[in-house]
Each structure stands twice: as C-alpha cells, then as structure tokens.
Amino acid sequence: MAIHIKTPEEIAGLRIAGRLASELLDYLTPFVKPGITTGELDKLAYDYTVNVQKCIPACLGYQPEGMTPYPATTCISINHVVCHGIPGEKKLKHGDIVNIDVTIVKDGFFGDNSRMFIVGQPTIAGKRLVEATWGCMWAGIEAVRPGNCFNDIGIACWEFIKPLGLSIVHEYGGHGIGRVFHGEPHVCHVPITAPTAKFEPGMIFTVEPMVNAGKRHIMDLNDGWTVVTKDRSLSAQWELEVLVTETGYDILTVSKGMPEPPAWVKGWKKPTFA
Ligand code: MF3
Ligand code: CO
Ligand code: CO
C-alpha cells in the first residue's frame, strides 16, 4: 500500500484540524496544576472539543483490532506511564511529568498531537527527560525533506538520544494521518534495516517519539490500554504532525501555545499568532 499524497484541499483541511488539536492543548495548559485529577482534565477536553471547537473526539470509543474501545477523550500518561494512560481519579502532584495526547476530527480530517507538562515544581530528572524528548522529536523532524527517507527520522532521533544515556521505545511510532487516524506509513523513531519510503511533497504524518530514562522495554497494564516502562523509569513523549514540502517540511499542529522549537532547528519557524 502506498503512502497517500494529499491534495491541496486535503492539506487545507488537515491544517485546520491540526491547529484545533494544538489549540485544545493550549486550552488545557493552565489547568495542569497539582491537585487536579486526570479525569477532570479529560472532562475539560471533551467539553471544549465538542462544545467550543465543534469537533469529534477521535479517541473516545476508538477500537483498533483486538482492543477494547478507548474510554476517554484524552490519553494522560504520568511519569512511568509511556502512553495511553486512561484519565480517572488520579491527582497530579508537584514534579510529575505528564503527557496529554489529544486527537480531534474536524470535517472528516484528523488532528493529533501531544505535549509534556511538568506539574508545579519540576524535578531535575523530569525536566531533563522532557527537554531531551522535545529535542529528539525535532531532530527527527529536521530530517524530513524530499530526497531523504523515513529511516532518516529514526537515525536522527537515535543519534540525538544515544549520547544522553536515555532510550527510545521501539513498539510505537508515528503514523500517516488524514481522513484516517492511523494510516501508512508507520514511522519508527529508531533506525531499521528494512527499506523505507522516500519523502514526497504532500505526505503528512506524525513524529511522536517515546523516550525512557531507563531501559526501552515496556509492558501493558491489565486495563487493556495503559503502557508503562518495564523498569518503572520515567517516560516522556511529544507529538507533532509534519507535512513534506518541496524544500523541507511544515508543522500542521501549531497554535499560539505550542512551545518554540529548539534554537538549532533550521527548517521551520513558528508563525506569529495575533
Ligand atoms: N493519539 C495517539 C497517537 O498519537 C493514539 C491514541 S489511541 C487511544 O497515535 F485510543 F489510546 F486514544
Ligand atoms: Co499519533
Ligand atoms: Co497522539
């Protein structure tokens, strides 16, 4: 199966969905404070998505083959939770590192992104991992340009993380996105030996590395969704959507509150928002 090259109309629709997904994270940001429960954050996300943005929460009821339907609007993954943390009664506390991953659908187009938050007073280890993972994602994104191939993302992510003594999760990767949530290709954040496709203008996919402070290995909890580090070390993840352009790339999940990329990023500048 080939990787879908988006038409200008599809790119326009995906830009709107991407911006809305990023704005949903902007909206949630001031609520990420010690004492709030992840369930309360999820309720805020649902209400904003449905009532303000007039979008469909894509994760709610999402059921990949062999899985139980996902029960919430957001995935909220704290500390040693790698991904797919189910919101509930758990309260955020000072020093927690938290990933909030949101996916919305607007006019049939998916918008998917996630950010890390440090709750209250940061810990040194938490801040270091969160910043390293942000750099890892951008290192991967900077490899995107026609002529390069998808494996260049994995190589760049790996070379960024290796000298820091951290590890990258192998089992989950980025994905094509469009009128489907998870399309081709699967984007590995580590180098692979199998041949990978070359980037072509009009391809749209996510880059979303999960980086562990300890070993790369993960395990599933019994709730059918939550993934944790096997050694219970901290784990972080950031996610953006990338469009391949004629000369490089553009970011689709962008809004006022998206953090500035690292200073060494050459291929993209954050637009100014009124
Ligand atoms: N948003 C996740 C991703 O980046 C997928 C979450 S699926 C869910 O691909 F069902 F767990 F919400
Ligand atoms: Co994704
Ligand atoms: Co996501």
Mean pLDDT, residues 258-263: 98
Span between the terminal Cα atoms of the chain, in Å: 41
Could you report the per-residue pLDDT of 104-151, keeping only the tens digit for each? 999 999 999 999 999 999 999 999 999 999 999 999 999 999 999 999
Q: Tell me which H or E stretch contains 132.
A: helix 124-142
Q: Which ligand is nearest to the CA of 81?
A: 1
Q: Which atom of ligand 1 is nearest to the CA of 175?
A: 9
Q: Does ligand 1 come within 6 angstroms of the Cβ of 75?
A: yes
* Average per-residue pLDDT for the chain: 98
pLDDT at residue 202, as a whole number: 98
Q: Is the pTM of this model over 0.75?
A: yes
Strand, coil or helix: 10: helix
Return the residue whose CA atom lies nearest to atom 11 of ligand 1: 84
Chain-centroid distance, C-alpha 13: 19
Cβ 178 vs Cβ 111: under 8 Å? no
Tokens of 90: 């758990």
Cβ 120 vs Cβ 265: under 8 Å? no
Return the residue whose CA atom lies nearest to atom 12 of ligand 1: 59
pLDDT at residue 118, as a whole number: 98
pLDDT at residue 26, as a whole number: 99
Q: Does ligand 1 come within 6 angstroms of the Cβ of 241?
A: no
pLDDT confidence band for 274 (50 / 70 / 90): confident
pLDDT value at 1 more than 80: no
Could you report the per-residue pLDDT of 139-153, keeping only the tens digit for each? 999 999 999 999 999
Q: Does ligand 1 come within 6 angstroms of the Cβ of 6?
A: no
